[in-house]
Amino acid sequence: MSSTATTVHRRQFLKSGALAAAPMIVPSSVLGRQAGAVPPSDRIVLGAIGIGSRGAYDLQAFLHQKDVQFVAVCDVREQRREVVKSTADKHYGNRDCAMYSDHFELLARGDIDAVLIATGDRWHALLSIHAAQNGKDVYCEKPCSITIAESQALADAFRRYGRIYQAGTQRRNGGNFVLAVELARSGRLGKLRTLHAQTVQAKSMPPIPSHDWLPAEPEPSKLVVDWDRWLGPCPWRPYNHFYVQGRWRNYFDFHGGSILEWGSHTADLCQWANDADHTQPVEYSPEGDNRGPFAVHCRYANGVMMVLRDSGWLELGSCSVRFEGDDGWVETGDTSKMESSENLREFLHPPSDYRVALENHVRDFLDCVKSRSQPRANAQAAANTHIACHAAYIAFQLGRKLTWDPLKAEFVGDQEANRMRSRAMREPWRI
């Protein structure tokens, strides 16, 4: 092939008419004529980066969608690459799923439209930004960032490059949560006063993670686990298999603690209920200690209070939220059961299968990839939720009330807090 040859992409080829002229037999499945099949031009070609247990769950939801064609996995762990390839190949009855250990190689593929990212919090924002810079749409697990600066850079990148982003905050498409938000936004609760967002209980996941290191172990071969790439932008520390087996949570360098872990879902629903997807609370007052119980009271400029707290819930399941207004209240959680004040009971519906939320959320993303409209957990909304959670986390670490200026994106009169808005990334990485 000459060096000046032009690359012809699959879709251009199909549109060019060459197909009609060529004397060959094309299976009907390729043209999408089989019952339920989707023609290639309507399929979304998907790759995935960093697929552990949660990522595998997300991937199943994507594989259930007929218009998704999953073609490649990238992981720094050989075992995970093999598992995901095996899943994909079994699903499609072929051996086509490509494997990569360098995400730039996957992102350079012109045939891939979108990527699923589920690495671990340390990589989420940076990989999402790299994907946007390479013209990909992104579905990314939460928490979506390690710092306020990463959250802003994430929103900036997706606005700048015009790509579609959906945070893995699937409760934005879960029936019970959506109904609770609707009750708040439609005025059924009266004037909103207090929004409660559940965090993980401090006794199982403290709000401030550990700064300790686990004992050093011999590093495996780079082909088995590329430890340097696993760490990515995080500070170096000696290898221990425990981190790599999905047990990286509760370490400061890799994780935002219990506030980010569930707050990325529950504060997110509060933001939405308060019609505050474009902004963040302006005051953060922490109480309690790292052993729990604890809370951070976050006041919005419109006077509404959001309370991130780890205890005192009605036991309606994990990731509960409770919205209170002058005329009533509603509370719900992952059991999808709902409780409310008497006057709102007529609006509640019976519990449904919570797994539908993920399928709906993935579908919302795929539809927006096609329509180029914004999904429910878009980059701007996700960034603002994460900034609110990081601000609460910083207030809790400092143990004092902080005032936040959402326009300047800085704490007012608190240099220590402002210095915690970002962290230098390990070379060569940057945002």
Question: Alpha helix locations (H) across 208-350?
Answer: 227-231, 241-244, 257-273
- Yes or no: say if 352 and 241 are a contact pair by the CB < 8 Å rule: no
Instruction: Name the residue nearer to other proteins (CB basis): 249 or 401.
Output: 249
Q: What is the nearest approach in angstroms of other proteins to the Cβ of residue 404?
A: 17
Q: How far is residue 63's CA from residue 315's CA, in Å, rounded to a whole number?
A: 33
> Counting contacts by CB under 8 A, is residue 156 touching other proteins?
yes
Q: How far is residue 269's CA from residue 203's CA, in Å, rounded to a whole number?
A: 24
Query: How is 61-88 classified by DSSP, letter by letter?
Result: HHHTSTTEEEEEEE-SBHHHHHHHHHHH
**Contacts with other proteins in 175-214 (CB under 8 A)?**
210-214
> Counting contacts by CB under 8 A, is residue 416 touching other proteins?
yes
Q: What is the nearest approach in angstroms of other proteins to the Cβ of residue 159?
A: 9
Among the candidate windows 27-35, 299-307, 346-354, 414-422, which touches other proteins by CB under 8 A?
414-422
Among the candidate windows 84-92, 116-124, 275-283, 412-420, which touches other proteins by CB under 8 A?
412-420
**Contacts with other proteins in 212-231 (CB under 8 A)?**
212-215
Judged by CB under 8 A, which of 39, 135, 187, 399 binds other proteins? 135
Number of Cβ within 10 Å of residue 132's Cβ equals 24
Judged by CB under 8 A, which of 29, 133, 343, 352 binds other proteins? 133
> Counting contacts by CB under 8 A, is residue 290 touching other proteins?
no
Binding-site size for other proteins (CB under 8 A) equals 35
Q: How far is residue 21's CA from residue 8's CA, in Å, rounded to a whole number?
A: 17
What DSSP designation does 409 have? Answer: T
> Counting contacts by CB under 8 A, is residue 162 touching other proteins?
yes
For tokens 């190949």, the residue is: 89
Q: What is the nearest approach in angstroms of other proteins to the Cβ of residue 273?
A: 28
Crossing angle of helices 53-63 and 356-371, rounded to 10°: 60
How many alpha carbons fall within 13 Å on the CB side of residue 184? 29
Among the candidate windows 26-34, 240-248, 289-297, 367-375, which touches other proteins by CB under 8 A?
240-248
Binding residues for other proteins, rule: CB under 8 A, are 132-135, 156, 160-162, 210-215, 235-237, 240, 242, 245, 247, 415-416, 418-420, 422-430
